[in-house]
Structure 1
Amino acid sequence: MSRIMIVDDEQGVLNALRRLLSRAPCAYGRLVYALEVETFDSPLAALDRARAAPFDLVLSDYHMPRMNGVEFLGQIGEIQPDAARMVLSGCSDINLINQSIHGADIFGMLPKPWNDYFLMSMIAQALNHRDLVLENRALAGKAADPRAEAEPAIPVAAVQWGPDGSMVFEDEASATGANKT
């Protein structure tokens, strides 16, 4: 179950998005995401909730009282760096929003009014991207320490010749005097 936070100061938009996300399939290729949606009409209330519960994706309106959506999503990124973040905006200055988005590590922007299919597709892509980033991070952690899954080391032995010409094997610690007290 993917947890989605939606933040918009317009209750009608929140209701429409909640309805859409509860009814429409959210799929990316063969992956189908079941969604659990929480909505907030205040970015401050949403920040409080983000401190208490994890979210997989946060979708925020751009124009809101007290802070814009990019500022809000920047703060969400500090609280929950693994959450995918997207902006929803009816703003006509797309270039301004795009510049803001690139500086705040935001996955993408959705227009208002939105196309239901496009919105669901973008949400699925953002969730898939998040999953891949987390999987790559986990794999990189394993690759960083190749000894984590390696066979146990075979003890090193020193070979000495005995007075009678026989071979005497000593473990590395004995040979270096590490066991002497």
Structure 2
Amino acid sequence: MNNRPPRILLVDDEPAVLSALARLLHRQLPAGPEVETFTSPRAALARAWEVPFALVVSDYRMAEMDGIAFLKEFAEIQPHALRLMLSGAADFDVLVSAVNAVGLHRYLIKPWDDEEVCSVLQGAYAEFGRQEADRQLALERQRQLGQLSPEEIERRRLEAEEPGITRVNWGPDGAIHLDD
């Protein structure tokens, strides 16, 4: 991984909610991770292809796409990021669907309690750090056992720093298609 602290991604189609959450996190985690906010789930997914995130917090009900669909697509891009949902929908079926479909780490209900949200996000951020350390130890152990080639180690390093960089979009004729 690079030396920058992992980021937190907040996605909600209500700008006021994003502003309130970002202010809360900057106040409670002043030396912590960078926080990026998006009102558009599609724009957030595009950003996920560019930089790694430790956590992603998504609203459930958004006009462009619902939170479960967004988190599902996000997980395909960055499978190691912890996924959380913040929603005014206290529907048990939504919660079960989110847990089953996207491996949800936590579900928070709006309106939120500032202390609870900060505690949950700090805990999730710490959990991401532990999981990342475990992944690095496993990778080093595989390298020591000769189970990974130097090329595979480098591919994984590049993918951790720039999600999607090692993926190739092949056309049906064998040509490589470049994204616009």
Report the TM-score, using the length of structure 1 for normalisation.
Answer: 0.71
Cα separation, 2, equivalents of 1:140 and 1:93: 38
Cα separation, 1, equivalents of 2:58 and 2:94: 16
Question: Which residue number in structure 2 is paired with residue 99 of structure 1?
Answer: 97
Aligned partner (choices 33, 40, 44) of residue 46 of structure 1: 44
The answer as to whether partners of 1:7 and 1:61 remain within 8 angstroms in 2 is yes
The CA deviation at 1:108 is 0.9
The answer as to whether partners of 1:21 and 1:35 remain within 8 angstroms in 2 is no
Question: Could you list the per-position Cα deviations for residues 87-106 of structure 1 after superposition, in whole angstroms to 9, with x for gaps in the alignment?
Answer: 00100213432332233122
Deviates more, 1:33-42 or 1:118-127: 33-42
Question: Which residue number in structure 2 is paired with residue 11 of structure 1?
Answer: 15
- What is the count of residue pairs matched by the alignment? 142
After superposition, residues 66-145 of structure 1 pair within 5 angstroms as 66-144=64-142
The answer as to whether partners of 1:70 and 1:101 remain within 8 angstroms in 2 is no
Cα separation, 2, equivalents of 1:85 and 1:127: 11
Aligned partner (choices 7, 12, 22) of residue 26 of structure 2: 22
Same amino acid, percent of matched pairs: 41
The answer as to whether partners of 1:6 and 1:58 remain within 8 angstroms in 2 is yes
Question: Could you list the per-position Cα deviations for residues 73-93 of structure 1 after superposition, in whole angstroms to 9, with x for gaps in the alignment?
Answer: 111111112211110010021
**Does 2:53 align with 1:55?**
yes
Amino acid at match of 1:16: A
Give ranges in structure 1 of 5+ residues lacking alignment: 27-32, 149-181
Cα separation, 2, equivalents of 1:85 and 1:96: 15
Cα separation, 2, equivalents of 1:68 and 1:85: 14
Amino acid at match of 2:24: L
Question: Could you list the per-position Cα deviations for residues 21-70 of structure 1 after superposition, in whole angstroms to 9, with x for gaps in the alignment?
Answer: 110148xxxxxx61211111110111111112221211110001131111
Report the TM-score, using the length of structure 2 for normalisation.
Answer: 0.72
Question: Which residue number in structure 2 is paired with residue 153 of structure 1?
Answer: none
Larger Rg: 1
Distance 1:89 1:145, change over 3 A: same
The answer as to whether partners of 1:88 and 1:111 remain within 8 angstroms in 2 is yes
